[in-house]
């Protein structure tokens, strides 16, 4: 397709993102129509990209992210807890020690600028904060620099934008290191750079999976260039933003070199633990652990295996057995992750191994918000699996739940989502296994 055709589609995409930024998540018809249009344009832009249009499309990907810098999020309210925690820290209060619901009517709230208007925007006022200290440091700085919500939201997006730019460069370098040809490198970078779910959920909706992805890709880049300590430190920073990347540590260890693996683990652990020392004590640890435990025992959204077991369990015992199923699925998930991390029966690359590890976790957890899958999109473009891209295109349908009053998921939509993703995953893994088997037979 000619350059002007690519430019026209990029401009249409920009219009779609601007429209999405002003659409409430309760307006399901308009919201899903815009999402659908953005993903159609995304598919066309990636399919028709060329060496000549690659710089234009990279520039467009940056512009799409910049469009969301100045507006308040309409599809997520997580950002208001970031502001809440930052204001507490700015006045010397430990956010891990205070429930919003307990202090909103106290002197602490008036001293720290925690208003009723801000409190009403919190989605979990009865839970202690679970955001790691690395993020809490940034929340504190933001609260120190800006006293308004609009200013705080803008500043909260700055490291996400910087992280996304770094991620694009790291994806390019990692694909080059893997020996991919020029066309494959361009396509891989653009599959992530132009993905609407990535663009909207990270910078626009202020989800720090964007920084997690950046540090994870840095970890992999240093890992592939034999800079073990920098790789371990980068993994530690990724865990410091979101605890989830700790799942990848077993797959990065080398069983044949126990000394090197121990040093790698120690560096990662040191980078993770040191920031916690400034805010944590036994009381904080207990409350932090309580919130994490409640996450696995109380929260549920867009789950797959858990919803199936929940329906069976409810039929058998007459009530929702999430309190038992959540921890049970965690054990199953952890066991499967260890197997995938250490087995060498499958001829898959490191990136594909990490993608499967994260997939197992997401299939076993009780909660899968759309932005949880963005790290999987980044890992997917580094390997040969494309089911993460399919999943990213289906996840906007989960916003249908917010169009119901009261909030209610459509389980038929959830079932269709996982049937499509599961079938695509099964097909890709089967094709890959068959191809690998044939290659080994030829050899």
Does some domain include residue 148? no
Nearest Cα residue to 361 out of 377, 344, 338, 384: 338
Q: Does the residue 24 lie in any domain?
A: yes
- Structural domain containing residue 299: 3-75+153-442
Contact 14, 66 (CB under 8 A): no
Q: Does residue 214 sit within a domain?
A: yes
pLDDT, tens digit only, all 443 positions of the chain: 566 789 899 999 999 999 999 999 999 999 999 999 999 999 999 999 999 999 999 999 999 999 999 899 999 999 999 999 999 999 999 998 899 999 999 999 999 999 999 999 998 888 888 888 889 999 999 999 998 999 999 999 999 999 999 999 999 999 999 999 999 999 999 999 999 999 999 999 999 999 999 999 999 999 999 999 999 999 999 999 998 999 999 999 976 688 899 999 999 999 998 888 877 777 777 776 666 666 666 778 999 998 998 888 887 777 777 777 877 888 888 899 988 888 776 778 899 999 999 999 999 998 999 999 999 999 999 998 999 999 999 999 999 999 877 778 989 999 999 999 999 999 988 777 666 653 443 33
- Six-digit token pair at 108? 């602490």
Q: Is residue 224 part of a domain?
A: yes
**How does 195-211 read in b/e, with b if 16+ C-beta sit within 10 Å?**
bbbbbbbbbbbbbbbbb
Residue positions counted in the chain:
443
Question: Contact, 200 vs 17, CB < 8 A?
Answer: yes
CA–chain centroid gap for 288, Å, is: 21
Structural domain contains residue 134: no
pTM attached to this predicted model = 0.93
φ and ψ at 147, to 5 degrees? Answer: -100, -5
CA distance 238 to 375: 11
> Within 10 Å of residue 231's Cβ, how many Cβ atoms?
22
Q: Is residue 168 part of a domain?
A: yes
Number of domains in the chain: 1
Nearest to 387 by CA among 418, 411, 433, 412: 418
Q: List the structure tokens of 327.
A: 């921890």
Q: Is residue 80 in a domain?
A: no
Look at residue 311 and tell me if it is in a domain: yes
């Amino acid at each position: 397709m000619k350059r002007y055709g690519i430019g026209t589609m990029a401009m249409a995409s920009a219009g779609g993102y601007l429209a999405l930024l002003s659409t409430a998540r309760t307006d399901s018809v308009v919201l899903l129509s815009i999402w659908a249009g953005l993903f159609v344009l995304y598919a066309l832009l990636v399919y028709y990209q060329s060496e000549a249009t690659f710089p234009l499309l990279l520039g467009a990907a940056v512009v799409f992210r910049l469009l969301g810098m100045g507006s308040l999020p309409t599809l997520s309210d997580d950002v208001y807890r970031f502001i809440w925690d930052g204001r507490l820290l700015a006045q010397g209060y430990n956010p891990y020690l205070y429930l919003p619901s307990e202090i909103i009517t106290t002197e602490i709230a008036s001293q720290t600028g925690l208003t009723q208007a801000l409190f009403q925007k919190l989605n979990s006022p009865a839970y202690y904060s679970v955001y790691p200290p690395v993020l809490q440091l940034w929340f504190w700085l933001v609260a120190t620099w800006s006293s308004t919500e609009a200013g705080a939201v803008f500043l909260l997006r700055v490291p996400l934008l910087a992280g996304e730019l770094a991620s694009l460069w790291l994806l390019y370098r990692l694909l080059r290191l893997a020996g991919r040809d020029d066309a494959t490198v361009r396509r891989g970078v653009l599959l992530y750079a132009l993905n609407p779910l990535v663009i909207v959920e990270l910078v626009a909706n202020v989800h720090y999976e964007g920084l997690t992805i950046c540090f994870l890709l840095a970890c992999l880049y240093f890992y592939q260039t034999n800079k073990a300590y920098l790789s371990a430190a980068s993994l530690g920073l990724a865990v410091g933003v979101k605890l989830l990347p700790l799942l990848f540590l077993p797959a990065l260890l080398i069983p044949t070199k126990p000394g090197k693996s121990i040093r790698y683990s120690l560096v990662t652990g040191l980078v993770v633990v040191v920031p916690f020392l400034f805010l944590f004590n036994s009381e904080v640890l207990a409350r932090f652990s309580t919130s994490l435990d409640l996450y696995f025992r109380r929260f549920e959204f867009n789950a797959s295996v858990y919803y199936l077991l929940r329906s069976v369990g409810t039929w058998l015992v007459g009530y929702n057995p999430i309190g038992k199923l959540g921890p049970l699925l965690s054990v199953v998930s952890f066991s499967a992750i260890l197997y995938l991390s250490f087995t060498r029966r499958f001829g898959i690359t490191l990136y594909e191994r990490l993608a499967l590890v994260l997939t197992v976790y997401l299939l076993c957890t009780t909660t899968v918000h759309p932005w949880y899958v963005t790290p999987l999109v980044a890992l997917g473009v580094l390997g040969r699996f494309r089911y993460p891209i399919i999943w990213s295109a289906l996840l906007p349908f989960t916003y249908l739940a917010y169009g119901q009053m009261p909030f209610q998921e459509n389980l038929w939509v959830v079932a269709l989502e996982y049937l499509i993703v599961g079938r695509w995953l099964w097909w890709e893994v089967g094709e890959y296994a068959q191809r690998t088997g044939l290659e080994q037979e030829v050899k």
